[in-house]
Amino acid sequence: TILILDFGSQYSHLITRRIREAGVYCELLPCTQKIKDLDFVPKGIILSGSPYSITDQDAPHVDPAIFELNIPILGICYGLQEICYVFGNNSTELARKSEYGFAKLEINDLAEIPHANALFESVEKSTQVWMSHGDHLDTIPEGFRVIATTESSAYAAIVSETRPVYAIQFHPEVTHSIEGKTVLRNFAINICACSANWTMDSFIDKEIERIRAIVGETGSVVGAVSGGVDSTVAAVLMKRAIGDRFHAVLVDNGVMRLNECEQVKETLGSQLGINLRVVDASDIFLGKLKGVTDPEKKRKIIGNTFIEVFETESHKIDEECKNSGAGKIEFLLQGTLYPDVIESISFKGPSATIKSHHNVGGLLEDMRLNLIEPLRELFKDEVRALGTLLGISDELVWRHPFPGPGIAIRILGEVTPDQVRIARHADYIYIEEIKKAGLYRKISQAFAALLPVRSVGVMGDMRTYEQVIALRAVETTDFMTADWFEFPASVLKRISSRIINEVEGVNRIVYDVSSKPPSTIEWE
Ligand code: XMP
């Protein structure tokens, strides 16, 4: 394992991604992490960049114990400053000269120091890197040597003469640093001697063992599934680990997609053999949504009602388990992914309190369930790879994300059964045509939104006065920023004419050409 200590840089999670891509398991923890509190022994440590400068009064520093472990250390950007600070007897002499953008990195050959060249092994002698920093070094600590320079920084990469401590000014984790991946792989595999054995194959066996050890011989687990990839993958892992002692619950909230409930029953229940029960609560949800038009109120109603329904069902399952002699429900499955974990543990500055991990909103508090999160170490693409290995269909594995509040937040204004019918049908046709055009995997998320406005149209000889469907399709990697998707006009034409002809109540289609920011992906 490589330990990445986060000083709050916007790129910290990318370091984690790159090391994982090299097949090496790593964990990101805040820079304030105490070495004595670690529950694993790292083979190497990476210090991230930071919005701070080492010269700031409140500049963050790592636990000095990391330098006594005698394992390889790599400092990146602020991490370089931190290494110079520590090895230069806490001196903070820096030149204030910011540098952003591309630079040519020129690598020196330091044959006389055995470990010096390992970081840039197989890297071109002159290679493009990405710089983004406010300070650079004017001097380096005694006992360090320069292994690379750029035009504006004489100390773009340095190494200790006596131990495998490296520090670089550029960001190898961003794709603009063309050979950055090689640099990080060199560090993890050649310098730290980590094995490249972090594969989803090995993950499955280890995770199943871990789940069995946690749950024990008798305990049972309850978890909500939605038909999305995360909850399905988590459910299949549970099924493999403890069979029918895992109880999956699908809450039909009345605002899922067309035929979705039946589909989930078929795939999770029949095909994947998961012990699944479906609770039809659509009347309860739609009843509570009656007359409500405020987006936030809709979200709250759906969230709270979901908790009520899920809790009631969990208590029922618990009773049944106890009566049948099976173990009581002791755990709650959550499909938390690594980005959520990072978000809650990453370094937010010395004064900011670190958010407590994952808010389950008091779900099932009275049952005192323990959380079980089999995906908490994984990124989304790793979950997809895992899903494929677990035999889940491509269709499900590559499904676009779907928000918890469902199409209720894609029906602007009041959510009535008839509005649900229109929004569902239009969305179904839209997605069907996107798939037919072979564009589904190119688009990160697509959906139809139903607008509460009517416009005049003409159909045959008749005047119509009906509603508008807005089509949304975006491309994004992280859903924090997104660009609207450039459809071929012919595809839009077909979608538009099909929806208008087939969906009663719609006579106009518009395409949403707003990016995020300033718009959001969803309309509410
Ligand atoms: P926005 O609209 O904020 O959406 O740009 C970003 C991503 O988050 C999804 N989303 C949700 N997912 N519960 C969810 O599980 C929610 O309440 C929710 N709201 C938005 C949205 O679909 C998009 O993928």
3-class secondary structure per residue, 205-257: HHHHHHHHHHHCCCCEEEEECCCCHHHHHHHHHHHHHHHHHEEEEEEECCCCC
**Tens digits of residue pLDDT in 239-260:** 999 999 999 999 999 999 999 9
Residue carrying the six token digits 């504006």: 152
Ligand 1: residue of 304, 522, 523, 524 to mutate (most ligand atoms within 8 A of CB) is 522
Nearest CA to ligand 1 atom 3: 520
Check if 173 is active-site: yes
Top-confidence residue, 293 or 477: 293
Q: What pLDDT, in 10s, does the model give residues 77-124?
A: 999 999 999 998 777 666 667 778 899 999 999 989 999 999 999 999
pLDDT digits (tens, 9 = 90+) for 151-169: 888 899 999 999 999 999 9
79 is in an annotated binding site: no
Ligand 1 lined by 445 (C-beta under 6 Å)? yes
Q: Could you confirm whether 77 is annotated as catalytic?
A: yes
Pocket flag, ligand 1, residue 405 (CB < 6 Å) = yes
Q: What is the pLDDT of residues 32-42, one digit of tens each?
A: 999 999 999 99
Q: Is the CB of 401 under 6 A from ligand 1?
A: yes
Binding site membership of 404 for ligand 1 (Cβ less than 6 Å): yes
- pLDDT for 89 equals 78
Residue 202 annotated as lining a ligand binding site: no
Q: How confident is the model at residue 296 (pLDDT cuts 50, 70, 90)?
A: very high
Distance 404 CA to ligand 1 centre (A): 8
Number of H-type helices and E-type strands within the chain: 13, 20
Establish whether 229 is an annotated binding residue.
yes
CA 127, distance to chain mean position in Å, is: 31
The proportion of the chain whose per-residue pLDDT surpasses 70, expressed as a percent, equals 96
pLDDT of residue 152: 84
Contacts 24+ apart (CB under 8 A), 448-451: 448/410, 448/423, 448/472, 448/499, 449/410, 449/411, 449/412, 449/423, 449/512, 449/523, 450/410, 450/411, 450/412, 450/419, 450/422, 450/423, 450/426, 450/506, 451/412
Q: Which of 226, 307, 479 to mutate to test the pocket of ligand 1 (most atoms within 8 A of CB)?
A: 479
Residue 95: per-residue pLDDT: 63
**Mean predicted confidence (pLDDT) in 364-374:** 85
Average pLDDT value for the chain: 92
- Report the atom number in ligand 1 closest to the C-alpha of 401: 24
Looking at 27, 82, 99, 173, which residue is catalytic? 173
ipTM (interface pTM): 0.98
- Whether 150 and 107 have beta carbons less than 8 Å apart is answered as no
Q: Is 335 annotated as a binding residue?
A: no
- Annotated binding residue 231: yes
Q: What is the pLDDT of residues 383-397, one digit of tens each?
A: 999 999 999 999 999
Q: Is 438 left (phi over 0), alpha (psi -120 to 50) or beta?
A: left
> With a 6 A CB cut-off, is 88 part of the ligand 1 pocket?
no
Tell me, in angstroms, the distance from the centre of ligand 1 to residue 409's CA: 10
Q: What is the mean pLDDT of residues 347-356?
A: 48
The pTM of the whole model exceeds 0.90? no
Inter-residue contact 483 to 473 (CB < 8 Å): no
- CA neighbor of 79 nearest in space, from 70, 68, 96, 67: 67
Tell me if 407 CB under 6 Å of ligand 1. no
* Mean pLDDT, residues 9-28 taken together: 91
Place of tokens 């002791």: 330
Beta carbon of 479 within 6 Å of any ligand 1 atom: yes
| DSSP assigned state of 80 | H
Cα–ligand 1 centroid distance for 499 (angstroms): 25
Whether 118 and 191 have beta carbons less than 8 Å apart is answered as yes
Give yes or no for residue 350 having a pLDDT over 60: no
362 labeled binding residue = no
State the catalytic residue, choosing from 26, 27, 31, 77.
77
User: What is the whole-number distance in angstroms between the Cα of residue 408 and the centre of ligand 1?
Assistant: 12
pLDDT of residue 349: 62
Please indicate whether residue 475, judged by its CB atom, sits closer than 6 Å to ligand 1.
no
Ligand 1: centre distance to CA 291 (Å): 23
If you measure from the C-alpha of residue 522 to the centroid of ligand 1, how many angstroms do you get, rounded to a whole number? 7
State yes or no: pLDDT of 137 exceeds 90.
Answer: no
Give me the residues paired with residue 467 across strands. 454, 506
> Looking at the predicted structure, is the pLDDT value of residue 360 above 70?
no
Instruction: Kindly give the distance from the C-alpha atom of residue 431 to the centroid of ligand 1, in angstroms, as a whole number.
Output: 18
* 311 has catalytic annotation: no
Cβ of 522 below 6 Å from ligand 1: yes
